[in-house]
Structure 1
Amino acid sequence: MDFSYSEEQRMLQSSVSKFIQQDYNFDRRCKIISSDTGFSKENWKLFAELGWLMVPFGKDDGGLGGSAVDLMVVMEEFGRGLVVEPFLASAVLSGGLIADSASEVQKRELLGMLMDGQLQLAFAFTEPHSRYNLSDIAMTAVRDEDSYVLNGHKAVVLNGEAADKLLIAVRTSGDQRDHEGITLLLVDPNTEGLQRHGYTTVDAHRAAEIKFNNVKVPIANRIGVEGAAFPIIEKAIDRATLALCAEAVGAMERIYKKTVEYTKTREQFGTPIGKFQVLQHRMVDMFTEYEQAHSILLMAALHLDINNGVAPKAVSAAKSRIGKAARFIGQEAIQLHGGIGVTEELDVSHFFKRLTTIQYLFGSTDYHTLRFSKS
């Protein structure tokens, strides 16, 4: 089987790679994450101008094709650069929900603005008690004439502070953990009764806690069919998980290569530590883990493309295996760098924090191992 990229995919990869090398070095990233927004609005506009925000969407929606392999190409490069702009939260996750469930009128309005860089979205689905159970939703939406009245609390909403619109998973019927009865609503964050508290996560990305106290949302803001959002959410989360795995693979490649270079210059007893056989073995193990992670990532992407975006077992296999590799490579990189490896001034510590966070986003390694075994 031919696993090589197409000419268009190679051009896309080259475009993102050049941006990372020329305009997104570590010092530039440090300035971006210390800003009030935590990301660069100029970079977001550039992503739109270069067509990268069109990558997750099919041609029928005005995108570039929307294949999982295309998405993988972009996210690997973003991983190598530790990009903090909310591409995953806004374009991949939230945009995917719109593309799969919104009406044609809603898609034309929302996706057009999103791909033009004029709109940012966030998907609020987790609650403090829900862990990784996507159906564990206690937040309620009760009909009141031509509106829904929302009450509840959403936690760790990626890009929740900066988003222009919020996609909210609410319960309109059924018990707290039922798959049926979950509905998607589009909410203006400036609506009365809605409170947002933004914060920086350990990996320098941004998230928010959002509370709803009798927030009124027009019924016209419903996305898709009432009570039938669970399978759509599950599909979108799996696609976002694939994108996250690709980011992890890109980050792992960069951190293990940086570690190899460091061992060539760091001397002990007058000899570069890279010449010590025991350390060579450890770096070979890092390389092996990276290659296995990259292979299973490609397998998962191909399964998603073959099966119209639905491949839960393949996605869980990738998340489980890549989570283990991320932990191993991150910890080995820190140990081989020694004390300097945990300092804020060295990018290795930032790669380690991001890889550690990725292990738990959209389901931990243990969760996806169990999900795979049950599939």
Structure 2
Amino acid sequence: MDFDLSEEQRLLKESIDGLLTDSYDFEARKKYQKEKGGWSKAVWGKLAEQGLLGLPFAEADGGFGAGAVETMIVMEALGKALVLEPYLATVVIGGGFLRHGGSTEQKAAHIPGIIDGSKTFAFAQLEKNSRYDLADVSTTAKKKGSGWVIDGEKFVVLNGENADTLIVTARTKGGRRDRAGIGAFIVPADAKGVTRKGYPTQDGLHAADITFTGVEVGSDAAIGDPENGLPLIERVVDEARTAMCAEAVGAMDESLKTTVEYLKTRKQFGVPIGSFQTLQHRAADMFVALEQARSMSMFATMAADFDDAKERATAVAAAKVQIGKSGKFIGQQSIQLHGGIGMTQEAKIGHYFKRLTMIENTFGDTDYHLRRVAEGGLV
């Protein structure tokens, strides 16, 4: 495999790195957290202006026709800057459903809004006791005329507090954990019967618990086959996992750089603590863990082009395992090497560890994906 970036990809990396360097230092991030929904509309507009929100969409839909590598580049940069804006929820997940399963009409109705920054999405999937099982769905979608009526509850919906549009998994037939009978539905966030309770998460983002009570949607709300939507859901979630792996690599990279810089400047016994060989060895171990994670993130990105869904899922699960292990190690070492200051809200290093911890537990933790790898991606 060729892991070198093309000239266009290098320009993309320089573009987003430059944008975030200019507008997204740690102090600016604190200000953005205080805005409605917990992120900056101005920064979101800048991402739209640079075409970053339209990267993965086909040129026929107004996008740039970019692939998984471009998404990896963007997500790694977002991870380095601890970006709060809903790129994952809107472009990767919401856009993923539209790209892979949306009808021509659905694409025309929603993709232009994503690209120009006027529309954001949230994926309402997690339920009580469902853990990481995408087939564990008790929310129902029942036929009413040509449309559907959705009832149920979803929890920890990323960007759910502020999204304009929700993509909801709901059961159209069968038992709670049956793989058949699950569909994905587009639901306006302000639809009658939708109740949202928003709150901040540990990593500084915002989520919401959402209740659907007799929410009526039209026949055009279903994305793809409403009775066999799980393969589509699994594909989009695997793409989200891959994107989060890249984001984690960015966060780990910055954590290591911040820690090494601290070792060079913090003095003990009259000398920088970075001169102590034991601490140098720990920093070297962090570097090894980072490069292992980077390699697996690239592998998962390449796996996006695999034709075999099982092979693709296994590759993504393997990457998530390494990302979880490396993220935990680098995060813990970063905190320890910073000493007590690493535990304070004022020090950014602790915020990187929080984000890495949330990534590790989103769409399956390390143990869950280790089982997936052992069983060939079938868990």
TM-score tier by shorter-chain length is over 0.9
Matches within 5 A, 1:291-330: 291-307=291-307, 311-330=312-331
Aligned to 1:188: 188
Contact kept, 8 Å, 1:67 with 1:305, in 2: the verdict is: no
Q: CA offsets, 1:39-87, max 9 Å, x none?
A: 1111111111100011222334332223111110111111110001000
Contact kept, 8 Å, 1:160 with 1:198, in 2: the verdict is: yes
Aligned to 1:168: 168
Contact kept, 8 Å, 2:88 with 2:243, in 1: the verdict is: yes
- Offset of residue 268 of structure 1: 1.2
- Offset of residue 200 of structure 1: 0.5
TM-score normalised by structure 2 residue count: 0.96
Q: Counterparts of 2:6 and 2:364 in 1: how far apart (Å)?
A: 31
Work out the percentage of aligned pairs sharing the same amino acid: 46
Give the 3-state SS of the residue equivalent to 2:280 in structure 1: helix
- Offset of residue 112 of structure 1: 1.5
Matches within 5 A, 1:18-37: 18-37=18-37
Give the counterpart letter for 1:320 in structure 2.
Answer: V
Q: Counterparts of 1:213 and 1:300 in 2: how far apart (Å)?
A: 38
Q: Counterparts of 2:20 and 2:46 in 1: how far apart (Å)?
A: 12
Contact kept, 8 Å, 2:264 with 2:274, in 1: the verdict is: yes
Contact kept, 8 Å, 2:124 with 2:155, in 1: the verdict is: yes
Q: Counterparts of 2:192 and 2:303 in 1: how far apart (Å)?
A: 44
Matches within 5 A, 1:347-362: 347-362=348-363
Give the 3-state SS of the residue equivalent to 2:304 in structure 1: helix
Contact kept, 8 Å, 1:59 with 1:66, in 2: the verdict is: no
Q: Counterparts of 1:306 and 1:171 in 2: how far apart (Å)?
A: 29
- Offset of residue 241 of structure 1: 0.4
Contact kept, 8 Å, 2:153 with 2:210, in 1: the verdict is: yes
Aligned to 1:370: 371
Q: Counterparts of 2:215 and 2:113 in 1: how far apart (Å)?
A: 25
Q: CA offsets, 1:81-129, max 9 Å, x none?
A: 0001000001101110111111111112211211111111111111122
Contact kept, 8 Å, 2:242 with 2:300, in 1: the verdict is: yes
Contact kept, 8 Å, 2:164 with 2:190, in 1: the verdict is: no
Could you tell which deviates more after superposition, 31-40 or 140-149?
140-149
Aligned to 1:114: 114
Give the 3-state SS of the residue equivalent to 2:160 in structure 1: coil
Matched, 1:144 2:144: yes
- Offset of residue 267 of structure 1: 1.1
- Offset of residue 307 of structure 1: 3.5
Give the 3-state SS of the residue equivalent to 2:37 in structure 1: coil
Q: Counterparts of 1:308 and 1:43 in 2: how far apart (Å)?
A: 38
Aligned to 2:123: 123
Contact kept, 8 Å, 2:37 with 2:159, in 1: the verdict is: no
Aligned to 2:283: 283
Could you tell which deviates more after superposition, 282-291 or 65-74?
65-74
Could you tell which deviates more after superposition, 309-318 or 45-54?
309-318
Q: CA offsets, 1:332-366, max 9 Å, x none?
A: 00000000001111111111110111110111011
Aligned to 2:204: 204
Give the 3-state SS of the residue equivalent to 2:38 in structure 1: coil
Give the counterpart letter for 1:276 in structure 2.
Answer: F
Aligned to 1:61: 61
Matches within 5 A, 1:233-312: 233-307=233-307, 311-312=312-313
Matched, 1:333 2:334: yes
Give the 3-state SS of the residue equivalent to 1:183 in structure 2: strand
Could you tell which deviates more after superposition, 244-253 or 309-318?
309-318
- Offset of residue 32 of structure 1: 0.4
Q: Counterparts of 1:79 and 1:151 in 2: how far apart (Å)?
A: 35
Aligned to 1:343: 344
Give unmatched runs, 5+ long, in structure 2: none
Aligned to 1:91: 91
Contact kept, 8 Å, 1:286 with 1:332, in 2: the verdict is: yes
Matched, 1:156 2:156: yes
Q: Counterparts of 1:372 and 1:57 in 2: how far apart (Å)?
A: 30
Q: Counterparts of 1:253 and 1:88 in 2: how far apart (Å)?
A: 19
Alignment coverage as a number of residue pairs: 375
Aligned to 1:75: 75
Q: Counterparts of 2:265 and 2:226 in 1: how far apart (Å)?
A: 61
Q: Counterparts of 2:232 and 2:267 in 1: how far apart (Å)?
A: 54
Give the 3-state SS of the residue equivalent to 1:148 in structure 2: strand
Give the 3-state SS of the residue equivalent to 2:10 in structure 1: helix
Q: Counterparts of 1:306 and 1:312 in 2: how far apart (Å)?
A: 9
Q: Counterparts of 1:165 and 1:35 in 2: how far apart (Å)?
A: 20
Could you tell which deviates more after superposition, 22-31 or 112-121?
112-121
- Offset of residue 308 of structure 1: 8.2
